[in-house]
Amino acid sequence: MKLRNLVGDRFKERPADCVIDSHALMVRGGYMKYMANGIYSSYPTLKRITKKIEEIIREEMDLVDGQEVLFPVVLPGTLWEESGRYNSVGAELLRFKDRNGSPLLLGMTHEEAAVHLVREYAQSYAKYPFMIYQIQTKFRDEARPRAGLIRVREFTMKDAYSFHTSQEDLEQYYARCHQAYESIFTRAGIPEVISVASDSGMMGGSISHEFMLLTPVGEDSLALCSECDYKSNIEAAENIVENHNGLPLEELKLVATPDASSISEVATFLQVPTENTCKAVIYQKDQTEEYVVIFLRGDMEVSEAKLTNYLGDNIHPAILDESGPLIAGFIGPYQLGTEQCIILYDQSLAGINSLVCGGNQQDCHYTGFNVLRDVGEVNYIDLSKIQEGGICPHCGKPSITLSRGIEVGNIFQLGTKYSKAMEMQYLDKNGDLHYPIMGCYGIGVGRLAASVCEAHHDEYGPIWPITIAPWQVHLCCLRIDDPQTKEYADQLYEALQREHIEVIYDDRDVRAGVMFSDADLLGVPIRVIVSPRNLQENCVELVTRDKTVNKKVDQSQIIPTTKELINTMLKAIRA
Amino acid sequence: MKLRNLVGDRFKERPADCVIDSHALMVRGGYMKYMANGIYSSYPTLKRITKKIEEIIREEMDLVDGQEVLFPVVLPGTLWEESGRYNSVGAELLRFKDRNGSPLLLGMTHEEAAVHLVREYAQSYAKYPFMIYQIQTKFRDEARPRAGLIRVREFTMKDAYSFHTSQEDLEQYYARCHQAYESIFTRAGIPEVISVASDSGMMGGSISHEFMLLTPVGEDSLALCSECDYKSNIEAAENIVENHNGLPLEELKLVATPDASSISEVATFLQVPTENTCKAVIYQKDQTEEYVVIFLRGDMEVSEAKLTNYLGDNIHPAILDESGPLIAGFIGPYQLGTEQCIILYDQSLAGINSLVCGGNQQDCHYTGFNVLRDVGEVNYIDLSKIQEGGICPHCGKPSITLSRGIEVGNIFQLGTKYSKAMEMQYLDKNGDLHYPIMGCYGIGVGRLAASVCEAHHDEYGPIWPITIAPWQVHLCCLRIDDPQTKEYADQLYEALQREHIEVIYDDRDVRAGVMFSDADLLGVPIRVIVSPRNLQENCVELVTRDKTVNKKVDQSQIIPTTKELINTMLKAIRA
């Protein structure tokens, strides 16, 4: 392909609305075009990359006995009513009606569609286990799309669904898929991806893992143990808090705390550490607007994922006004009218003898509050986020570090949530009916492309791994006004193509600087530069995008040297 | 792949709701599963076929310098407002709103998205011509989905858009695309597809062609000339009617026609041929409900496509009640109150001296009606459908025959409709601004698969061409209870795979009848049958699905013979 014909603009200026590098570079390099909030078109360069990624995914899915299918993008509402998700999923599920008024929705995952496809087929144990997957467009009406292809509304995803007759069989298959995912990320050029325990959220099920690319621009927070191999999304990591009961019991005492409504203001005002305070965080249930009050240690933060899972309901931060029963900034457990609220105690409060807490009246707090003495026996729940230096739930040492990551894939053990809800059953050898056990396995194709770019780029552009690069070789002809140079470059272009090497050929009449900065933005791993000066020495320049190779190669050796370099790069990725 | 693991049911009974064979066979063979009206999932067998079709399409599009891109499925309403289609397209365009109330729609074609992608890129003449294409999900909210994958609401389509700086350049490229389409259909195994002139309808533009598979179950009607190469969709074929002015002028006379309201009843009652009558067909505009009355010769039919194009508005058959100005069954041109209606005269009425027409009062008609004398000069328009035996608009002979066809692809010369509406311009060499000229080119992938099945099947199943067959070889092991037979078949399965032959292997413990009827439903071109009886003769049976080959092959020759047969089949398709 000649660069002069490649559809897509390249430009120098970093777009103002791009907060992360991969987004900026993929806009600047003519990979993607904004159409609407969280909705993009792909230019040919990106399409070449995603096709290669899809092919890697297909190969790995086929290796774990996956069978490719295709589910609809537009699904009938009745199907999601069967699983209960038509109502339980929030506004990110885009629901609408067709010309006849029938409810439809845009698929964001396809568990229901998978069960629908196979529930008649798989009525005998002899059909199990099996796995079906698709690579298809998804739509999730995100409130806040961001970071280019990292969080969009419309995206291409590989989603796979496996069906089993025993938990053991699921677990074995889950482990195979875990390995297949490791292969996929390795082959896509980001072997550094780690898997962490995750929260299963709206998918249902119990055990699940997310595959994370560690990067400061990631939107997920991870808890990693520096002493053992514990790795978890903080939404799924138990927050173990050891309160060494050093404080004496004190008398409960209402004190004035004028203008001090935030916990740090109160702690400063009363000269106590925030660990000795009990703060209140208030949510409301999406459906009923019922208040949910969480009491937790003043230095902790509520995990909304844990809270949602505990309640089984979607929630949003509460809107408090003066007409309601709660006095914002001064809410405490003691003598709080409980009829209209759900009151929950985070386990970070357990074992503290004496706390500062809200006084349930304007400008007042209590000191000396003791949960057992002042409100009685409560059920402590894990509702807060683990923190830097926190206790590892696996090895018990205070060795948790927090990192940020981009989720590039996830795998779930779903159990029987969907098969039960949708009445999918099979007969075992003895003629007894059972619900099959399911697993599901997702990878976002565009997000993976962007993540590779985020992991491998410099200030000038992406540095694509050879396996997913849009082309293998970028051929630059400097000085096409020189007939000999142009002729040699043209011939080399043909010769490289004859060897089935994927070449993008720049034979434009532009300055070397323009040529090279365009090449940087396309990020092709191997650059071959033909110029009058090199040809005088019977040479061609060979440079890699990652700058590890930069040499002159004799004209007679350029084809074998290029092929060898491609092979070396491929081997390095497989290793 | 082993058949025992293949996801998808096969069964004997023809489903009651399948009106055409391909639909019935593709349901019976485990290719597709109904999810909602016009919405299906694809099982692995169909997915294998459509992947091969997509690969053929890609190769042919790349050969005409196409660059693959990806547009969103969900498009912002504002984009379609730019072209005017947000309001002009009817209910088949599914419009809805996102969580923030922004109007969205499901793309049914992507002209707007194509212009959006390239209008900044292609601001200089030097970038032209170019073509971009995608293979992506489309949604069209059809009022009446039918015939399985032939007319669905959600479908996968290849749509391509080319951009040019002159009409000549577009025409040359259009011809290349026409050839590429012929290659695609040939390679997919249906070289019998013909191209016919078509109506451009809502796409805009002038010249367009549809690629048609002739079949009695097709939903399009085609006018083919038996004397020249004229081929047209009847919606686009001019209906030339020669009225040999044999009738004398008569006096206009109101006659009673009790209970005769249809044109055939009136003609019978008055003992005149229907060619000497003038009938009225009434529509209403979708937006304003304004009446549109078309007068045409009694034996002709209105072409709704011609009418819509003429009006530039969508229409529906009128609902007449007693309160309106029109008396159903008795509407005629003479003294018809015209204030509330648009009155149109089809050219089939021109040159008839004396007509029977409605009397505009209950149970009355006129005889002796003469258009010029009784209503004055009128503008005759082509609004009726060409008929069997009609006059060929190309050679002028009365040699039109009507056929039915399935539209498997279409190509359009769009002109500047979209570039003008969306303000896409480029600078020519002299620095002057112009609107680029566009072409667009579509193929429905699933419909093509179904069409091939419709063209090539017998009562037992599809007969897939080798190029798109889900597998090349179907290996049947009869009597797996015989260890020697099973062992040989297992080895042959491995050997065929080593030769990169795509094999589906049936090693189930089922009767030969079940095995063969399943094989018929999968329609794999070459069947290899291993049985104890054959092995006694050191033979294996080789049978083709189309029954042209049925022979015993020596065990030592089975691999080379199979490979040769595959090559012969491939060559036959290329020829």
Verify whether the Cβ–Cβ distance B35 to A94 is below 8 Å: no
**Which residue of chain B has the CA closest to A6?**
B67
Angle made by CA atoms A305, A307, A311, in degrees to the nearest 5: 120
Residue pair A535/A485 in contact by the 8 Å Cβ criterion: yes
How many helices (H) and strands (E) chain B has is answered by: 15, 31
In whole angstroms, give the CA distance from residue A437 to residue A518: 51
Angle made by CA atoms A219, A464, A573, in degrees to the nearest 5: 95
Q: Is A240 near chain B, with CB under 8 Å?
A: no
**Residue in A453, A469, A449 with CA at minimum distance from that of residue A461:** A453
CA distance A498 to chain B (A): 16
Residue pair B45/B30 in contact by the 8 Å Cβ criterion: yes
| Terminal alpha carbon distance of chain B | 30
CA distance B66 to chain A (A): 10
Q: What is the pLDDT of residue B575?
A: 67
In whole angstroms, give the CA distance from residue A313 to residue A342: 13
Say whether both A219 and A265 belong to one domain. Answer: no
Verify whether the Cβ–Cβ distance A70 to B50 is below 8 Å: yes
User: Which residues in chain B (514-573) have CB-CB distances under 8 A to chain A?
Assistant: none
Distances (CA, A) of A390 to A40, A240, A272, A386, A398: 40, 7, 21, 6, 5
pLDDT along chain B (575 residues), means of 10: 96 89 96 96 98 97 97 97 92 94 96 97 96 97 89 96 96 96 96 86 69 92 92 90 81 87 85 90 89 93 92 87 76 80 92 89 89 91 94 92 94 94 96 97 96 96 98 96 95 96 97 96 97 94 96 95 96 85
Say whether both B327 and B420 belong to one domain. Answer: no
Taking contacts as CB-CB distances below 8 angstroms, the residues of chain A near B116 are: 33, 35, 41
CA distance A38 to chain B (A): 10
Say whether both B532 and B498 belong to one domain. Answer: yes
Say whether both B48 and B148 belong to one domain. Answer: yes
Domain at A184, CATH number? 3.30.930.10
Residue B336 maps to a domain = yes
Q: Is A137 near chain B, with CB under 8 Å?
A: yes
Verify whether the Cβ–Cβ distance B9 to A121 is below 8 Å: yes
Q: Is B156 near chain A, with CB under 8 Å?
A: yes
Residue B390 maps to a domain = no
Q: What is the pLDDT of residue B505?
A: 98
The values of phi and psi at residue B369, to 5°, are -75, 130
For A219, which DSSP code? S
Supply the angle between the helices B483-498 and B558-574 in degrees, to the nearest 10.
50
Residue A124 maps to a domain = yes
Closest by Cβ to A69, choosing from B36, B43, B122: B43
Residue B232 maps to a domain = no
CA distance B447 to chain A (A): 15
Say whether both A370 and A441 belong to one domain. Answer: no
**Residue in A288, A366, A379 with CA at minimum distance from that of residue A333:** A366
**Which residue of chain A has the CA closest to B143?**
A99
Q: Is A7 near chain B, with CB under 8 Å?
A: yes
Taking contacts as CB-CB distances below 8 angstroms, the residues of chain B near A75 are: 35-36, 39
Mean pLDDT, chain A, integer? 93
Taking contacts as CB-CB distances below 8 angstroms, the residues of chain B near A74 are: 39, 106, 139, 153-154
Residue B199 maps to a domain = no
Residue pair B1/B473 in contact by the 8 Å Cβ criterion: no
Verify whether the Cβ–Cβ distance B33 to A132 is below 8 Å: no
Q: Is A121 near chain B, with CB under 8 Å?
A: yes
Pairing of strands A103-106, A95-97: antiparallel
Question: Looking at residues A91-96, what average pLDDT do you find?
Answer: 94
In whole angstroms, give the CA distance from residue B450 to residue B49: 10
Residue B302 maps to a domain = yes
**Residue in A56, A167, A179, A69 with CA at minimum distance from that of residue A116:** A69
Verify whether the Cβ–Cβ distance A67 to B44 is below 8 Å: yes
In which band, very low, low, confident or very high, does the pLDDT at A532 lie, cut at 50, 70 and 90? very high
Q: What is the pLDDT of residue A408?
A: 95
User: Which residues in chain A (241-280) have CB-CB distances under 8 A to chain B?
Assistant: none
In which band, very low, low, confident or very high, does the pLDDT at A205 lie, cut at 50, 70 and 90? low
CA distance A332 to chain B (A): 35
Q: How many CB pairs under 8 A join A and B?
A: 163
Verify whether the Cβ–Cβ distance A113 to B41 is below 8 Å: yes
Specify the residue for token string 């009397």: B359
Say whether both A302 and A416 belong to one domain. Answer: no
Q: Classify residue A497 by burial, with Cβ atoms within 10 Å: 0-12, 13-18, 19+.
A: middle
Residue pair A74/A107 in contact by the 8 Å Cβ criterion: yes
Domain count along chain A: 3
In which band, very low, low, confident or very high, does the pLDDT at A153 lie, cut at 50, 70 and 90? very high
Say whether both B442 and B529 belong to one domain. Answer: no
Domain at A272, CATH number? 3.90.960.10
CA distance A79 to chain B (A): 9
User: Which residues in chain A (44-73) have CB-CB distances under 8 A to chain B?
Assistant: 44, 46-48, 50-51, 65, 67-73
Verify whether the Cβ–Cβ distance A39 to B5 is below 8 Å: no
Q: What is the pLDDT of residue A264?
A: 86
CA distance B425 to chain A (A): 16
Say whether both B109 and B147 belong to one domain. Answer: yes
The values of phi and psi at residue B447, to 5°, are -65, -35
Is the per-residue pLDDT at A204 higher than 60?
no
In whole angstroms, give the CA distance from residue A163 to residue A170: 8
Length of chain B: 575
Say whether both B23 and B170 belong to one domain. Answer: yes
CA distance A464 to chain B (A): 19
Say whether both A271 and A369 belong to one domain. Answer: yes
In whole angstroms, give the CA distance from residue A38 to residue A151: 7
Other CB atoms within 10 Å distance of the CB of residue B376: 7
| All residues at 6 or more sequence positions from B515 whose CB lies less than 8 Å from its CB, including other chains | B476, B478, B506, B508
Q: What is the pLDDT of residue A338?
A: 61
The ipTM (two decimal places) reads: 0.91
Residue pair B521/B457 in contact by the 8 Å Cβ criterion: no
Is the per-residue pLDDT at A86 higher than 70?
yes
Closest by Cβ to B154, choosing from A69, A74, A121: A74
Q: What is the pLDDT of residue A127?
A: 96
Residue B212 maps to a domain = no
Is the per-residue pLDDT at A201 higher than 70?
no
Taking contacts as CB-CB distances below 8 angstroms, the residues of chain B near A27 are: none
Among residues B427, B454, B481, the one where a domain terminates is B454
Q: What is the pLDDT of residue A268?
A: 87
Verify whether the Cβ–Cβ distance A74 to B143 is below 8 Å: no
Specify the residue for token string 């897509």: A8
Taking contacts as CB-CB distances below 8 angstroms, the residues of chain A near B4 are: 126
Q: What is the pLDDT of residue A248?
A: 82
**3-state DSSP helix/strand/coil % of chain A, to nearest 5:** 30, 30, 40
Specify the residue for token string 């008609």: B365
How would DSSP label each residue in B95-141? EEE-TT--EEEE-S--HHHHHHHHTTTT-BGGG-SEEEEEEEEEE--
Residue pair A317/A342 in contact by the 8 Å Cβ criterion: no
Q: Is A154 near chain B, with CB under 8 Å?
A: yes
Q: What is the pLDDT of residue B200?
A: 63
Pairing of strands A32-36, A39-42: antiparallel
Closest by Cβ to A70, choosing from B6, B36, B41: B41
**3-state DSSP helix/strand/coil % of chain B, to nearest 5:** 30, 30, 40
pTM of the model: 0.91
In whole angstroms, give the CA distance from residue A492 to residue A496: 6
**Residue in A60, A113, A58, A59 with CA at minimum distance from that of residue A85:** A113
Q: Is B144 near chain A, with CB under 8 Å?
A: no
* pLDDT tens-digit series, residues A252-294: 898 988 887 788 888 888 888 899 999 999 999 988 888 999 9
CA distance B468 to chain A (A): 16
Domain that holds residue B75: 15-190+415-454
Say whether both A357 and A421 belong to one domain. Answer: no
In whole angstroms, give the CA distance from residue B501 to residue B499: 5
Say whether both B444 and B357 belong to one domain. Answer: no
Is the per-residue pLDDT at A173 higher than 80?
yes
Q: What is the pLDDT of residue A282?
A: 92
Residue B339 maps to a domain = yes
Among residues A330, A349, A381, the one where a domain terminates is A381
Specify the residue for token string 């291993």: B530
Residue type, B137: T
**Which residue of chain B has the CA closest to A4?**
B127
Distances (CA, A) of A563 to A534, A541, A558: 20, 15, 9
User: Which residues in chain B (21-40) have CB-CB distances under 8 A to chain A?
Assistant: 30, 33, 35-37, 39-40
Verify whether the Cβ–Cβ distance B41 to A120 is below 8 Å: no
Helix (H/G/I), strand (E/B), else coil: A10: coil
Verify whether the Cβ–Cβ distance A69 to B41 is below 8 Å: yes
Q: What is the pLDDT of residue B362?
A: 85
In which band, very low, low, confident or very high, does the pLDDT at A200 lie, cut at 50, 70 and 90? low
Is the per-residue pLDDT at A410 higher than 60?
yes
**A22 torsion bin: left (phi>0), alpha (psi -120 to 50), beta (else):** alpha
**A3 torsion bin: left (phi>0), alpha (psi -120 to 50), beta (else):** alpha
